[in-house]
């Protein structure tokens, strides 16, 4: 049976930032609000992401999104996490790749279509800011 409630979406962006710089912006939660316009702050005990790190993203209007980092690979510049608000969950996988003149980044998000529909325009904007 086809599940029409959940799905997976893919986004990507390219820019002039080096792959190392874009990766650092991902790896250090304190920097997330500098490129992701929906993030007002991040509460976590970790200075740098690693598998198993947990925390809370603080969004607009004080919305709090709990997260756990599922995997984090410095060598390949790939990481995955699960974000949750109450019963609503979304799995996100990110990657950064070197490219001529800068880098590219991509996102694969899996969750309920209504949540994806609301999140993807903001995520697209954030990815472009990440690699700028």
List, in order of start, the domains of the chain with CATH numbers.
10-131 (3.30.530.20)
Distance CA 130, CA 24 (A): 10
Q: Would you write out the chain's pLDDT as a tens digit for each of its 132 residues?
A: 455 789 999 999 999 999 999 999 999 999 999 999 999 999 999 999 999 999 999 999 999 999 999 999 999 999 999 999 999 999 999 999 999 999 999 999 999 999 999 999 999 999 999 999
Cα 60-54-107 angle, rounded to 5 deg: 65
**Among the listed residues 92, 75, 100, 81, the one whose alpha carbon sits nearest the alpha carbon of residue 23:** 75
Model pLDDT, residue 125: 98
Distance CA 55, CA 63 (A): 13
Distance CA 92, CA 42 (A): 17
Global pTM reads: 0.93
């Amino acid at each position: 049976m086809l599940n029409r409630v959940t799905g997976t979406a893919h986004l990507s962006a390219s820019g002039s930032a080096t792959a190392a710089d874009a990766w650092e912006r991902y790896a250090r939660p304190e920097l997330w609000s500098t490129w992701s316009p929906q993030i007002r702050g991040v509460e976590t005990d970790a200075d740098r992401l690693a598998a198993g790190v947990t925390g809370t993203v603080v969004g607009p209007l004080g919305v709090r999104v709990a997260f756990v980092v599922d995997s984090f690979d410095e060598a390949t510049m790939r990481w995955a996490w699960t974000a949750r608000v109450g019963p609503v969950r979304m799995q996100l996988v990110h990657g950064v790749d070197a490219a001529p003149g800068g880098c590219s980044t991509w996102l694969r998000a899996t969750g309920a279509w209504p949540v994806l529909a609301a999140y993807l325009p903001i995520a697209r904007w954030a990815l472009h800011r990440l690699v700028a």
